[in-house]
Amino acid sequence: MLTIESGGDGIVVVRGRLDAAQAAHAQGFLDKVSGTVTLDVAGLEYISSAGLGVLLKTQKRLLGGAGKLRLAGVSPHLRDIFVYSGFDQLFEIEPAR
């Protein structure tokens, strides 16, 4: 399952699994954010290409409005996926502490 909610101070916390079945739910939430947003993915266990699509679409929209999406708390597995997909070039990535 997936939970996505605002943590205050421009932080959005996402937890669980961002797969094809949950992509629409996440997209619906992120379509409403604006400005510079930090997405805390420390609790994100899993992401598929459908989830990457959500992040990409959000990033494109925010960059158009002089904002951006930053990723924080990136686990080694997620980092592998971001590197293999070139997303490390598209997002500021802050590893998990």
Partner 1 sequence: MDDRASRHRLAAEDLEAILGVTTALAQPFDLTTMLAEVVNAAKQVLKADRGSVWLYDAGRNELVLEVATGASAIRVPATAGLVGACAQSRAIINVPDCYADARFDPRVDRESGYRTRCMLTLPLIDHRGALVGVMQVLNKAGGVFDAGDEMLAAALAAQCAVALQRVRMTEALIEGERMRQELEMAREVQMSTLPSQMPAVPGYDVFGVSRPAEQTGGDTFDLMPTEGGLVVVLGDATGHGIAPALSVTQMQAMLRMAFRLGADLPTAFRHVNDQLAATLADDRFVTAFIGVLDPLTHRFEFHSGGQGPILHLSAATGACTSHPPTSFPLGAMPLAKLRPSVTLDMRPGDVALLITDGVYEYHDPDGEAYGEGRVEAIARGHGARPMAELAARILADVEAFARGAPQQDDVTLVLVARAPATAVGRFARRVDVLPALFAFTAAFFADHEVDAALLSPVDFAIEELFTNMVKYGRPGGDEVELALARIAGGVDVALTDYDVEPFDPTRAPDADVTLPIEQRSPGGLGIHLTRRLVEGLDYRYIPERREARITFRKTGDPTRRGGA
Residues that bind partner 1 (CB under 8 A): 1, 17, 19-21, 45-50, 52-53, 56-57, 59-60, 63, 77, 80-81, 84-87, 89-90
Beta-strand relationship, 2-8 and 11-18: antiparallel
CA distance 45 to 47: 7
Q: Which is nearer to partner 1, 68 or 94 (CB)?
A: 68
DSSP for 2-27, written as a single string: EEEEEEETTEEEEEEEE-TTTHHHHH
Cβ of residue 50: shortest distance to partner 1, in angstroms?
7
Lookup result for tokens 């916390």: 13
Nearer to partner 1, 12 or 90 (CB): 90
Comparison of 7 and 83: residue with beta carbon closer to partner 1: 83
